[in-house]
Each structure stands twice: as structure tokens, then as C-alpha cells.
Chain A
Amino acid sequence: MTDQQPAIRLTGLTKEFGAVTAVDHVDLEIAAGEFFSMLGPSGSGKTTVLRLIAGFEQPTAGIIELFGQDVTKRAPFDRDVNTVFQDYALFPHMSVLDNVAYGLRVRGLGRRERNERAMRALASVRLEQMAARKPSQLSGGQRQRIALARATVVQPKVLLLDEPLGALDLKLREQMQVELKEIQRDLGITFIFVTHDQEEALTLSDRIAVFNDGRIEQLGTPAELYERPTSRFVADFVGTSNLFDAERSRDLLGREGHHSVRPEKMTVTRDGLAGEGVVNVPGTVVEAIYLGSGVRLVVDLDDGTRVTVLEQNDRDRIHDDERGDRVVVSWHADDVVHLGTEVLPGISG
């Protein structure tokens, strides 16, 4: 295999369940060693793409290549990819060690050899002392790490992760995100990560594909997706955006097409800001929510547009805005993102 060869190449991948098209002509290349995320709301087709790559579903049309090899027709056990399942899918009747050693066992490795390797895999997720336990005796975070050890012990070329952090609470989630990233760097294998959590995708990924209605809406690095969304859907799904439709854009910004401005790019003051390219619009504070690290202000602009502004809680913030206060919302023209001219049936603003 060469460096040029992508780990995964999907060509015209389509999956229909009866009358429903879950995946609609997806073309995608994922580079070797990449941490790649598939992000989208539930029902957007991201999990189906993962299951197609794993081999649990057969595509209606299209080709799946793994390092240049066509694996479309191969059974799951004949593919060099492994999956970390959303519910972990640990075998409840086996000990943790037997769970991790399972992939080696069905490959015909002797007991001593497979237990040794399984112990090493357990050590890599710092759970050697749990080897004799049953999965039911472990916490959610521990089960998650066992599932990871079980999938990586057979040294797959690509690891598929189906919302692996979905069942964990926030603190553990953030901790596991760091660990996942470390493990991926250590192993140097391709991770394909499915999530509906945009923050998680932004934090972890080298690149992200945003799915909507079975298609890839936008493909890019986290910064590209966040700073330059190309559609209303992406602007709204990745982070929070203040969306201006064609009419509002014409009135407020004097531009054609749909536009968005991120809440943190907006500033609220009493009298507005001076400067080149600054847009000042008066409005009334509707809601002021204290977040600890900052304040989220919901402001109704005088033309009726409702915007959300995120103000950092820094020393410069001297005034406390309250409901009903008259304020001026300002942003720089450079921070306005053009979302195209067509009307997209995305999430309403």
C-alpha cells in the first residue's frame, strides 16, 4: 500500500431501505491515518454509511474500497475494519479478558498468546485489573474502553466508531475524547467516527463530513466548516448561527443571498462601535443568560430579526444587560458568511 492510496474510498454509495433512501450517491475518500468524523442529525445516513463500510449492510449500489481493494461484496469477517458499537456490544457471558481476546481466538491463536496480547490491549486502556470481571460489573466508561481494546487488539486498518461516547455523561465524555485522540495518534490507524454532537466532531477530527438526508452537505476541516459553512444547514448544525434569509440580508447587509454571523462575532454595546466595515443595528434585549464563562444575549433587532450574541466574561464587559434594555448589536462585515442564494430546506432559524 502506498501513501497515496486512501484508506477508504466510497464511490456512488447508495442504500435504500424499501422506499427510503438512507444513503444517496455518496462519494468520499478518507486518507490513511486520518481522524475522520461523519456528523449529522439522526436519520441523516451517517450510521448507515458506517454499517456499509463494516459490512453489516449491503449497498444498493456503489463501491467500497479499502486501501484500493474492492470489499463491497465481502462479509464483515473478511474486512480489515473493526467497529466500536454504540451499545459496546460486549459479550455478557465472557470475562473482560475473553471479550478482548475474542478476535484473536476466532483467528485461531493459542490461549497463552491471545491472553498475553489481550492483557497488553487492556493495559493500553488502563484496565488490566478488570480482566477477570464480567462486562456487567463495569461502569459505562470502562465498558467503552473495553470495547475499544477489543476492536484494536486485532490491529484493524480502519476503526469505525458508532457514537461511542453517546451513553457517557459530560465529564467522562470530555475525558474519553482526549483518550480517543491519544489512542488514535498512538496506533496511527484511520478512525471513522460517527456522531451527532457537533462539538465532539469539531474537537476530535482532522476532517468532518456533514450529512443531511443521505448526502454529504459539506466536507472540510473543523475550521473550514465552522468559519465558512457553505449552506444554511451546515451553518445551523455546526455551532450556532444567526441566519439572515435573502430579504433580511438585503435590508440589513445590503447583500444578495442567505447569510450567517456567529454569535461570538457579534458585540452588544449601548452606543455602537465605530470603524471600517462595522455594522451597527439597534435592538432590545429579550433574554440574558449567564453561562459562567460568558453571557448569552438574545436581542430583537428593530426590524424584528432575533439574534443571539455570545459575550465573553472578560474585564472589558462593564455593563450588565437586562431584559428590555435598548442596545446596539455590532459585527464586522468580514464575519458575515455567504450561504448561497437558493432556498434550502434546512433547519429553521
Chain B
Amino acid sequence: MTTHAPAPPGAPANAPGQARDAVPRPRRTPARAASVFLSTHPRTRLALLLSAPLFWLGIVYIVALVLLLVTAFWSVDSFTGEISQTWTLDNIITVVTGSLYQTVTLRTLGVALAVTLIDVLLALPIAFFMAKVASPRMQRILVIAVLTPLWASYLVKAYAWRSVLSQDGILEWLVAPFGGHTPGYGLPATIITLSYLWLPYVILPIYAGLERVPDSLLEASADLGGRTWPTIRLVVFPLVLPAIIAGTIFSFSLSLGDYITVNIVGGANQMLGNLVYTNVGAANNLPLASAIALIPIVIIFGYLFLVRRTGALDNL
């Protein structure tokens, strides 16, 4: 009901000229003048906002990438070791037809796919627990726990796995009583280590995606008779698919480019990154290295194209 104080009859409230607490006018400072100028000049505002990032993207990023592509079509003089800037398709043909490159490409692709699959399978339940089950406090703790490994050096983590997977390492000690053995150094070790390294990059987007799915949708599904599995298949999965794909792009492309992990735990196996490394360094053949580097770029573009056709990129 009414709560205001009764005003005396005939006396208008807040009559003009009545003393009120004065509100100070904003002071005219140079910063304020600049703000006024910018707020009325949208183009200047846009130019100031974008010039630095565009410079970085244009010069440092695109040019470097284009140079890489161009280099792939040059060759190296085998006597002097100088790069000769004559156009040739030799490097590309070598990379496409050479059996070494085909084997290594397939191996790299296999490793990247395996890592991506394992990461998604591990990340889904973890992300679901974080987003939908854990208390808000637990949620924060888990996000920090997922992020913490990213603060440690990549090399340290790879060497840690080398020690875990070694013949007298902790894994052997753990599974030996059950008749198991450590896989030792090789492709399985590479897949395990890479899955570990990229897992946070897969968990975080899926977690963010699940966070955006309102709880009421899960309740609505249960309310309409949907048990756990139909709810996951028909409601949760389609809604977080874009987030899952975002995660797979990370794990897939990071795995495609890796050459350090495979060096540390991969035994004698080589991946595309190793071939690039040897050609740049020991073999001094930058054009061939560039041509090899084009392989993962082409694969990633192919993957993005496939993903785009599913419509999943629209929501990224």
C-alpha cells in the first residue's frame, strides 16, 4: 500500500527554485575531450582499435605463412646449399609420391585421430561433471585443476611421461602385478603423452559448451519421459557438438604438428614435424621442409571443410 509521507495540501513537492543537493557537472579534461571526439567519429575509433592487431596479423602472420608456401616451390642448389628462386614442383611431387612421406603422413594422421578420440572420450564425462553435477565451489576448483598442467613446461611433462612409461617406471610397477606391461617407447606412448598434453584444450571448450545448455532442457527431457541415454543422445550431444568440434580442432591440429613428444617417448618413430625439423636443420633443405609443412595445413583445411558442412562452425 501507499508508503509515502502525506504532502501538505496545496504545497507542490519539489517546487522550482527549491534548494536541492547540487550534482556537479562533469569536468572538462583532455581525456574527456578525446572521448567526445571518438564517440562522434566512428571511423577513427575503428582505425585506432584495429590498426595494431591488423598490422600483427597482416605482416607477421600472413606474410610468414605466404613465404612458407612460396618457399615450397623453390629448390636448393645441392652444391652451394643456396636456395635458388626458380619455380619448381619437384618438392611437392617428392612429398606426394615418396613412400617415406606417405607412411609418415598416415602415421601422423593416425596418431592425431587416436589422440583426438581419446581426449574427447575422456573430456566428455569430466566436462559434464564439471558443468552439470559439481557444486559451484567444486566447479572452480576443477577448472583450476584442469588449467594447472598448462603452467608446467611442455618438455617437463613429456619427460615425466618418459619416466612413467620406462621399463622400470611407475606404470610398469603399477600394472606388473596384474600381468600387464608398460607399452615402452613407441607410438602408443606418443599417443598417451599427446592425449595427456592436449586434454585441457579439449575439456575447456566442451565444459563451456555444456555450461551454456540450460538445466531446464535436461529437466524438460526427463519430464517428457527421456531417460539418461536418450537425453544425452537427443538433447545434450547435438547442443554441445560445436563445442566438441572446437576441442577436436585443438587436439587434432596440435598433434599433427608435434615433433618433440615423439622424439622423447616415440622411440625411433618419426612424425611430419620430425621430417620438417631434419630438413630445416641437418639437411638444410628449407623448400622441402616447407612442402612437408603443407601436408598438415592441407589436412586441417580438409577437416575444417568437413566440419563446416555439418554446420558445427556456425555456432563457434
Contact A89 B226 (CB under 8 A): no
Bound Cα distance A150, B217 (Å): 13
Beyond A85-B219, A93-B239, A105-B234, is A306–B2 a contact (Cβ under 8 Å)? Answer: yes
Shortest A98–chain B CB gap in Å is 9
Beyond A93-B239, A287-B2, A306-B1, is A77–B223 a contact (Cβ under 8 Å)? Answer: yes
B residues near A315, Cβ cutoff 8 Å:
none
Q: How many residues in A have their beta carbons less than 8 Å from beta carbons of B?
A: 39
From A91, A243, A308, A349, residue with most partner B Cβ within 10 Å: A91
Beyond A93-B239, A102-B224, A284-B9, is A87–B2 a contact (Cβ under 8 Å)? Answer: no
B residues near A93, Cβ cutoff 8 Å:
238-239
Shortest A129–chain B CB gap in Å is 23
A82 proximal to B (CB < 8 A): yes
Contact A92 B239 (CB under 8 A): yes
A290 proximal to B (CB < 8 A): no
Beyond A91-B235, A308-B1, A323-B9, is A107–B223 a contact (Cβ under 8 Å)? Answer: no
B10 proximal to A (CB < 8 A): yes
B139 proximal to A (CB < 8 A): no
Interface residues of A in 136-175 (CB under 8 A from B): 150-151, 154
Interface residues of B in 1-55 (CB under 8 A from A): 1-2, 6-7, 9-10
Contact A102 B221 (CB under 8 A): yes
B230 proximal to A (CB < 8 A): yes
Contact B2 A77 (CB under 8 A): no
Residue of A nearest to B6 (CB): A286
Interface string of B197-237 (1 = CB under 8 A from A): 00000000000000000101101111111110010001100
CB-contact partner of B1 in A75, A284, A349, under 8 A: A349
Q: How large is the interface on B (under 10, 10 to 19, 20 to 34, 35 or more residues)?
A: 20 to 34
Contact A154 B224 (CB under 8 A): yes
A residues near B223, Cβ cutoff 8 Å:
54-56, 76-77, 81-83, 151
A222 proximal to B (CB < 8 A): no
Bound Cα distance A27, B239 (Å): 40
Beyond A93-B238, A93-B239, A284-B9, is A106–B225 a contact (Cβ under 8 Å)? Answer: yes
A residues near B220, Cβ cutoff 8 Å:
83, 85, 89-91
Contact B2 A102 (CB under 8 A): no
Residue of A nearest to B315 (CB): A93
A240 proximal to B (CB < 8 A): yes
A298 proximal to B (CB < 8 A): yes
Bound Cα distance A347, B75 (Å): 87
A residues near B214, Cβ cutoff 8 Å:
87, 89
From B1, B222, B227, residue with most partner A Cβ within 10 Å: B1
Residue of B nearest to A240 (CB): B1
CB-contact partner of B224 in A82, A308, A323, under 8 A: A82
A residues near B238, Cβ cutoff 8 Å:
93
Shortest A75–chain B CB gap in Å is 7
A residues near B2, Cβ cutoff 8 Å:
286-287, 298, 306, 308
A324 proximal to B (CB < 8 A): yes
A229 proximal to B (CB < 8 A): no
B residues near A102, Cβ cutoff 8 Å:
221, 224, 226, 234
Interface string of A231-245 (1 = CB under 8 A from B): 000001000101100
Contact B9 A324 (CB under 8 A): yes
Contact A154 B225 (CB under 8 A): yes
From B219, B220, B227, residue with most partner A Cβ within 10 Å: B220
Interface residues of A in 68-123 (CB under 8 A from B): 75-77, 81-83, 85-87, 89-93, 102-103, 105-107
Residue of B nearest to A296 (CB): B2
Contact B239 A300 (CB under 8 A): no
B residues near A89, Cβ cutoff 8 Å:
214, 216-217, 219-220
A residues near B235, Cβ cutoff 8 Å:
91
Residue of B nearest to A322 (CB): B9
Shortest B240–chain A CB gap in Å is 10
Interface residues of B in 218-275 (CB under 8 A from A): 219-227, 230, 234-235, 238-239
Residue of B nearest to A101 (CB): B224
Shortest A280–chain B CB gap in Å is 21
B residues near A284, Cβ cutoff 8 Å:
9
B residues near A107, Cβ cutoff 8 Å:
225
Bound Cα distance A81, B222 (Å): 11
Bound Cα distance A89, B219 (Å): 9
Residue of B nearest to A298 (CB): B2
Contact B226 A106 (CB under 8 A): yes
From A82, A102, A349, residue with most partner B Cβ within 10 Å: A102
CB-contact partner of B226 in A77, A92, A151, under 8 A: A77
Contact A77 B6 (CB under 8 A): no
Bound Cα distance A106, B227 (Å): 8
Shortest B23–chain A CB gap in Å is 29
Shortest A238–chain B CB gap in Å is 14
CB-contact partner of B234 in A85, A106, A154, A306, under 8 A: A106
Contact A106 B224 (CB under 8 A): yes
Shortest B71–chain A CB gap in Å is 45
B residues near A300, Cβ cutoff 8 Å:
6
B residues near A86, Cβ cutoff 8 Å:
216
B residues near A240, Cβ cutoff 8 Å:
1
Residue of B nearest to A56 (CB): B219
Contact B216 A85 (CB under 8 A): yes
Contact A77 B227 (CB under 8 A): yes
20 contacting pairs across A/B (C-beta < 8 A): A56-B222, A56-B223, A75-B227, A76-B219, A76-B222, A77-B222, A82-B223, A82-B224, A89-B219, A91-B217, A91-B220, A93-B239, A151-B223, A154-B225, A240-B1, A306-B6, A323-B7, A323-B9, A323-B10, A324-B10
9 A-B pairs with the lowest CB-CB distances in the bound complex, closest first: A324-B9, A103-B224, A89-B220, A89-B216, A76-B222, A106-B226, A106-B230, A93-B238, A83-B223
Residues on B facing A (Cβ under 8 Å): 1-2, 6-7, 9-10, 214, 216-217, 219-227, 230, 234-235, 238-239
Residues on A facing B (Cβ under 8 Å): 54-56, 75-77, 81-83, 85-87, 89-93, 102-103, 105-107, 150-151, 154, 236, 240, 242-243, 284, 286-287, 298, 300, 306, 308, 323-324, 349
